[in-house]
Structure 1
Amino acid sequence: MTSDGEPRPKDGAACFLQVFENPLMAVHYHDGPRQFVPGLEALHRMTGILLAERVPSDARILVLGAGGGLELRALAESFGGWRFVGVDPAAQMLKLAEATLGGDAARVDFVQGYIDDAPQGPFDAAVCLLTLHFLDEAERLRTAREICRRLKPDAPFVAAHGSFPQEGPEKALWLSRYAAYAIASGADPEQVAKARDAVDAMGMMLSPQRDEAVLRQAGFSDVSLFYAAFTWRGWVGYA
């Protein structure tokens, strides 16, 4: 819910929220990203490096889609002076994030909700990993603009999510690679097939070109690709 009591976003992402609110999903959540996202730990390390180029040692970082806490834990362990605001609409996933962080949870203010529920800042940086692909293009643009508005001038923003060609045989090829990687990483083939079909049917995925255009349209400059792994892409840009 947003601060005014209205559910957001009002699109297909709502069904995914129901999945993440399932306590059983939260228990097993950490297995999924590791099996489906190539180089997940490296992505977290690269995110920290990109932020550290421009933020102070006592930086305050906005993390949107913080449920589960994997990126929060990686950043907190590597940068002992940073503090965080972790925002996520799923209460169960925020509980998991707090448990994942252990003692470092004291350095995080957890907020249940969407970008509208986040403090106004200004923040020294922002991160949104494995999240924006749940939003359609209009809501993705609005969310990115709201993130940009909460940042100090020239502050870095790191975004990484599903992003791959969305037309014809090329889309099917990348989805097959997405599934093959997960199976090779130990995921259950039946569950992988369901995940592949769900991604195929989402209707909210964008091509890398459109994703980068959204970030630029939202107000970020010097947007550059730093991560590409099968169906996943990551960018850094500056407010």
Structure 2
Amino acid sequence: MEEIVARFSDPEAVAGYSDGPVRYVPGLADLHRMAGVLLAERAPDNGRILVLGAGGGMELKALAEAHPGWTFVGVDPARPMLDLAERKLGPSAERVEFVHGYIDDAPEGPFDGAVCLLTLHFLDAPERTRTAGEIRRRLKPGAPFVAAHVSCPQGEDEQDIWLSRYAAFAVAAGEEPERADKWRSVTAANRNLMFSPEKNAAILEAAGFSDVALFYAAFTWRGWVAYA
């Protein structure tokens, strides 16, 4: 994780972060919108929401604007990314408690819902299960958890096909081909963490969540909703 935190603490990476995910994650704005819809099915109008991997502030901003009565705890291990989130949120930052650290540094809750987007794929299976379990432990009974991260089929040669599509989408969205190929290579180097959709769902179940359901699928990305 030290390498990942260092990457997201680099000033150049932080400065260009807002342009990156929209080029690599198909329908990112809609993913944020869907996350809000799924949380709102059970979270009250004055709900308190835990956001793990909140650096950059994209999902925080989308959720805060769509649900003006919610308050948030945003957790991230990269301090510069938390600072970026605070700037992005503007006046809405008053409704966010920013926590520099990992899930173990988050308040105990209980929270009315939680979200973790584009983050859990950095963790191996045991740590991913443990982290999901710590999120569940901080939720009220029946509260929703929305997660989305890298996940694709694991059959022979399938990862390479999907990674090529991942890079091709980025180029179609305006990314420089050389840069898209670089990030394809970076992702491929961590292919041992690119679990199948079925394994990711099983991890959430092992962490104690119930009614795990896939709601988002976009090339190398998948998203699930589950309940504490």
> What TM-score do the two structures reach when normalised by structure 1?
0.94
Structure 2, unaligned stretches of length 5 or more?
A: none
CA distance in 1 between counterparts of 2:60 and 2:10 reads 21
Letter in 1 for 2:219: F
Letter in 2 for 1:121: G
Aligned residue for 2:193, secondary structure, equals coil
* Residue number in structure 1 paired with 2:108: 120
Deviations 1:160-201 (A, max 9, x none): 011112343111100010010000000111111110011111
Q: Is the 8 A contact 1:88 1:94 kept in 2?
A: yes
Q: Is the 8 A contact 1:136 1:205 kept in 2?
A: no
Confirm whether residue 37 of structure 1 aligns to residue 44 of structure 2: no
1:141 to 129, 133, 143: 129
Tell me by how many angstroms 1:17 deviates.
Answer: 1.2
* Residue number in structure 1 paired with 2:216: 227
* Residue number in structure 2 paired with 1:4: none
2:80 to 85, 88, 92: 92
Query: Moved runs in structure 1, 4+ residues, more than 3 A?
Result: none
**Which runs of structure 2 are paired with 1:161-180 in the superposition (5 Å)?**
161-180=149-168
CA distance in 2 between counterparts of 1:143 and 1:167 reads 27
Deviations 1:195-231 (A, max 9, x none): 0011111122211110000001101100000000000
The root-mean-square deviation of aligned C-alpha atoms, in Å, is: 0.7
Structure 1, unaligned stretches of length 5 or more?
A: 1-12
CA distance in 1 between counterparts of 2:88 and 2:199 reads 34
* Residue number in structure 2 paired with 1:53: 41
> What TM-score do the two structures reach when normalised by structure 2?
0.98
Aligned residue for 1:168, secondary structure, equals coil
Letter in 2 for 1:200: A
CA distance in 2 between counterparts of 1:95 and 1:166 reads 37
Q: Percent identity?
A: 63
CA distance in 1 between counterparts of 2:2 and 2:213 reads 30
* Residue number in structure 1 paired with 2:9: 21
Letter in 2 for 1:22: D
2:51 to 63, 70, 74: 63
CA distance in 1 between counterparts of 2:5 and 2:175 reads 22
Deviations 1:45-81 (A, max 9, x none): 0000001100111000000000000000000000000
* Residue number in structure 2 paired with 1:208: 197
Aligned residue for 2:68, secondary structure, equals coil
